[in-house]
Structure 1
Amino acid sequence: MKFVSWNVNGLRAAIRKGFLDYFHEIDADFFAVQEIKLQEGQIDLELEGYHQFWNYAERKGYAGTAVFTKHEPLNAYYNFDHETVQPEGRLITLEYENFYFVTIYTPNSQRTLERLPIRLEWEEQFYDYIKKLDKIKPVILCGDLNVAHQEIDLRNYKSNHGNSGFTKEEREKMTRLLDNGFTDTLRYFYPQEEGLYTWWSYMKTVRERNIGWRIDYFIVSDRLRDNLRTANIHADIYGSDHCPIYLEIIDI
C-alpha cells in the first residue's frame, strides 16, 4: 500500500498550484492532507475511486484535515474520544481490520511560545490516544507534527534551540513516543542522512538552498517495521511551504 501525507497550507490554493497532478500521478492508497483551511461546501473535489473524510475547523480559513483513500474503513473518528469533532479539525482516525490510519495536524506553539501550554496538553492527549489504539491493533500515523525531533532534522539547529518546534519540551514528547513502541519511518531507512526536510520558509531562496525543517512524519507501530518497504520525502513537489512525504508498506 502507498501512503502520502502533505500539509497543503490551504487546499484550494494547492489545487491551483498543481495538487491534482501530483495526486493522480502518485496514485496512493491513502492520501492525507493537513491545514486544508476551508469549510464544508467550499470545495467540490471529484476523486474517482476514493472515499473522502473531512474534519473542518470551526474557525474559518484555519487548520483542518482530510483523508482520501481507496479503502473503505470500518469506522471513521474525528476526535480523541471517538464521539465528538475536534474543534480545530486536527485529527482523523480510520479503522481497518488490521490497523488504524491516523492523520494529525499538531498545534503550533507560536513564535513567542504563547501556545506551548496548549501544545503540551495536546501532546498528552495524543500520546494516550495513540497508545490506546496501539493496544488494539497497529497504528500508521502521519501528519504535520510541528517538531523537528533531532538536530539532524533542521538546517540551522544551533540558532533554533528553544524556538517553537525545537523546544526541549516538544522534542521530549516525540522521544517519548518513539521510545514506547513507535518508529519514525524515514529515520528507519535513513538514520544519519542530512538535508531531509519537509518545510521551508517562504523567504526568498530559502527552499532553493534547502534551509528547512523536517516536521512532517510517518510513524508506525514497531511491529510494522518488517512490513516497511520505503519512506521518502518528495521535496521536488511544490504548491505549499511543505512538501509531500511518502510511505510504502506491504502485507498489511
Structure 2
Amino acid sequence: MKLVSWNVNGLRACVRKGFLDYFNEVNADIFCVQETKLQEGQINLELDGYYQYWNYAERKGYSGTAVFTKKKPLAVKYGVGDNDTQDEGRIITLEFEDFYLVNVYTPNSKRDLTRLDYRLEWENELYAYLLELEGQKPIIYCGDLNVAHQEIDLKNDKTNHGNSGFTKEERGKMSRLLDSGFIDTLRFFHPDEDDIYTWWSYMKTIRERNVGWRIDYFITSEKLIDSLVDSVAHTKVMGSDHCPIMLEMK
C-alpha cells in the first residue's frame, strides 16, 4: 500500500503546475492534501478510480483538506468531537477495516506567536482524539503538522529556537505523541539523515540551497511497525512550497 501527503498551498494553482502529472505517476492508494484553498464547486478533479472527500474552510481561499482513496472507507468524519474546527476544514478521518487514516493541516502559531495558545489547545484536543481512535484500531496520522520536531529537521536550528514551528511548546506536543505509542516513520527509516526537508520559503534561492524545514509527517501507531516498508520525501517535486511525502506499507 502506498500513501502520499502533500500541502499543495492552493490546489488550483498546484494543478496548473503539474499536480496531476505527479498524482498519476505516483499512483498512490491513498492521497492526502492540505491547504486546498478552495470552496465546493471551484474545482472539478477527474480522478478515475478514486473516491474523493473534502473538508472546506468557510473562509474563501484558506486552509482546507481532502483525501482521495482507491478503496471506499467504512466511515468518514470531519473535525474532532463537538468542537470539530469545521470552519477551517483542517481534519478528515477515514475509517478502514484495519486502521484509521487522519489527514490534518495543523494551525500555524504565526510569526509573532499570537496563535500559539490556540495551537496548543488544538494539540491537546487532537491528542485526546488520536488516543481515543488508537484504542479502537491502529492509526495512520499525516499532513502538514507545522512543527520541526528536532534540530535535524530544519537547516538553521540555532537561529530558529523559539520561533513559530520550533518553539519548545510545539516540539513538546510532538514528543508527547511519539512517547505515547506512535512512530515518526521517516525518522524510523532515516534516523540520522540530515537535509531532508518538506517546506521551503519562497525567498529567492532558498529551495535551491535546500534551506528548509521538515514539517510534513506520516506518523503511525507502533502496532503497525511490522507493516512499514519505507517513508520518504519527494523533494524534487515542484508545484508548491512543500514537497509530497510518501509512506509505503505492506
1:91 is aligned to 91
Cα distance 1:24–1:37, how it changes in 2: closer, same or farther (>3 A)?
A: same
Distance across 2 between alignment mates of 1:61 and 1:119: 21
1:175 is aligned to 175
- Answering whether residue 212 of structure 2 is matched by residue 212 of structure 1, we say yes
SS in structure 2 opposite 1:49? coil
Alignment of 1:186-225 (within 5 A): 186-225=186-225
Per-residue deviation, 1:86:
1.6
Number of matched residues? 250
Alignment of 1:84-233 (within 5 A): 86-233=86-233
1:49 is aligned to 49
Distance across 2 between alignment mates of 1:166 and 1:215: 10
**Identity between Structure 1 and Structure 2 (%):** 67
Cα distance 1:147–1:52, how it changes in 2: closer, same or farther (>3 A)?
A: same
Per-residue deviation, 1:145:
0.2
Consecutive unaligned residues of structure 2, counting only runs of 5 or more, are none
Distance across 2 between alignment mates of 1:205 and 1:222: 39
Once the two structures are superposed, what CA deviation does each residue of 1:146-184 show, in whole Å capped at 9, x if it has no partner? 000000000000000000000000000000000001000
Distance across 1 between alignment mates of 2:151 and 2:122: 23
In the TM superposition, structure 1's runs of 4+ consecutive aligned residues that sit over 2 Å from their partners are 82-85
AA at the equivalent of 1:155: K
Is the contact between residue 77 and residue 83 of structure 1 (CA under 8 Å) also seen in structure 2?
Answer: no
Consecutive unaligned residues of structure 1, counting only runs of 5 or more, are none
Per-residue deviation, 1:84:
5.6
Once the two structures are superposed, what CA deviation does each residue of 1:51-74 show, in whole Å capped at 9, x if it has no partner? 000000010000000000001000
Per-residue deviation, 1:46:
0.6
Once the two structures are superposed, what CA deviation does each residue of 1:93-137 show, in whole Å capped at 9, x if it has no partner? 000111001100000000000000110010000000000000000
Alignment of 1:21-60 (within 5 A): 21-60=21-60
TM-score by length of 1: 0.98
Give the RMSD, CA atoms, in angstroms.
Answer: 1.0
Distance across 1 between alignment mates of 2:191 and 2:230: 13
Per-residue deviation, 1:82:
7.6
Per-residue deviation, 1:36:
0.2
